[in-house]
Amino acid sequence: MSKNQKQPVKLVPIPSPNIIPERDVDMSPILEISHLGIDFGGLTAVEDLNMAIGRTEIAGLIGPNGAGKTTVFNLITKVYQPTRGTIMLDGRDTAGLNTIQINKLGIARTFQNIRLFKDLTVLDNVLIGLHNEMDYHLAEAILRLPSYWRAERIARERALELLSIFDMQDLANVKAGSLPYGAQRRLEIVRALGTNPSLLLLDEPAAGMNPSETSELMENIQKIRDTFKIAIMLIEHDMNLVMGICEGICVLNYGKVIAKGTPEEIQANPEVIEAYLGKKKEAN
């Protein structure tokens, strides 16, 4: 990993930002990505990515398989350090930070291949998300001081409240690994919300869900945005979901942005249609 080089904060003009919702326009965007790129050996997985996300926007990142979508999430959360470009979170350059610091600064995520704490209970999974919301010391826990009991009680209530978004509070004592697939994806979202993010990244949240689960998820994503007043960026192959709830969409193909705009603009964009249909032809 690269050293903690402090770069001066610079204001980069954003060539073609996502559509920031009306209600967010007078505020600075929560996330600004400019000229972002990463190479894996000879392969350029992401190239010259520019985008901005409003503070309460639901943004979509779509594209054919292998387009580099997950890689963008990994770059934002510093699983990979970018080869080029900058990522500004809330006006602050994130160069040199690591995954943990990024989470503490307000970005939470879910994973395309679910990464739950499988042998722990649903409640413990959410409590781990709430880890940094509690502040008692190890000695306080061992001596079981009132500060320990208070923090644990508040965290448990909060965890159950968060679980109730998806009506999962009754599953609190169930092992996470024994949940059905859809519930595991929902639990990942709840756990991410526990870290009190201002930007939530969802990597294919509807994968493996049936149509009724998906439409429920759509409502809940909007509900989360409305209650928590946070920005959400999601990767999804389910076009109904993307076109239904995203306000701005960015289309990637071979690591490059091929289109940006509102759902209507994206649906009418010939390049996007070609990328998807072209892919389909190959598959056939």
Ligand X SMILES: Nc1ncnc2c1ncn2[C@@H]1O[C@H](COP(=O)(O)OP(=O)(O)OP(=O)(O)O)[C@@H](O)[C@H]1O
What is the helix (H) or strand (E) element at residue 31, kind and residue range? strand 31-40
Using CB under 5 A as the binding rule, the residues of this chain from 110 to 129 that contact Mg ion are 112
Distance of CA 95 to the CA centre of its chain: 19
Distance (Å, whole) CA 280 – CA 126? 39
Lay out the sheet containing 248-253: strands in order across.
Answer: 107-109, 199-203, 231-235, 58-62, 248-253, 256-261
- Chain residues 102-161 in contact with ligand X, contact rule CB under 6 A: 112
| Residue 179 DSSP class | S
**Sign of the alpha-carbon torsion through 78, 60, 236, 177:** positive
CB 223 within 8 A of CB 165: yes
Instruction: Provide the minimum distance between the beta carbon of 104 and another protein in the complex, in angstroms, as a whole number.
Output: 5
Q: Of Mg ion, another protein, ligand X, none, which one does residue 67 interact with (CB within 5 to 8 Å by kind)?
A: ligand X
Residue whose CB is less far from Mg ion, 159 or 272: 272
Please state the closest distance from residue 69 (CB atom) to Mg ion, in A. Answer: 5
Q: In the sheet where 31-40 sits, what is the strand order? A: 43-53, 31-40, 84-89, 92-93
2 or 65: CB nearest ligand X: 65
User: Which of ligand X, Mg ion, another protein, none does 156 bind, CB closer than 5 to 8 A by kind?
Assistant: another protein
Separation between Cα atoms, residue 114 and residue 185, nearest integer Å: 7
What distance in Å separates the CA atoms of residue 72 and residue 272, rounded to the nearest whole number?
Answer: 19
Q: Does 86 bind ligand X (CB under 6 A)?
A: no
69 near ligand X, rule: CB under 6 A: yes
Query: Which span sits near ligand X by CB under 6 A: 37-45, 102-110, 127-135, 221-229?
Result: 37-45
Q: Are 57 and 244 in contact, with CB atoms under 8 Å apart?
A: no
Looking at beta carbons only, is 163 or 257 nearer to Mg ion? 257
User: Closest distance between ligand X and the C-beta of residue 112, in Å?
Assistant: 5
What residue ranges bind another protein (CB under 8 A)? 77, 79, 98-100, 103-104, 108-109, 111, 115-120, 123-124, 127-132, 134, 136, 138, 141-142, 144, 148, 151-152, 155-158, 160-162, 164-165, 169-170, 172-173, 191-192, 194-196, 223, 227-230
CB of 45 to ligand X, least distance (A): 4
Q: How far, in Å, CA of 88 to CA of 94, rounded?
A: 6
Residue 50 or 77 with smaller CB distance to another protein: 77
Rank residues 67 and 155 by Cβ distance to ligand X and give the closer one: 67
Please state whether beta strands 84-89 and 31-40 pair in parallel, antiparallel, or not at all (unpaired). antiparallel
Among 50, 56, 70, 77, binds ligand X (CB under 6 A): 70
Question: Cα–Cα distance between 45 and 248 in angstroms, integer?
Answer: 22
Task: List residues binding ligand X (CB under 6 A).
Answer: 40, 43, 45, 63, 65-71, 112
Task: List residues binding Mg ion (CB under 5 A).
Answer: 70, 112
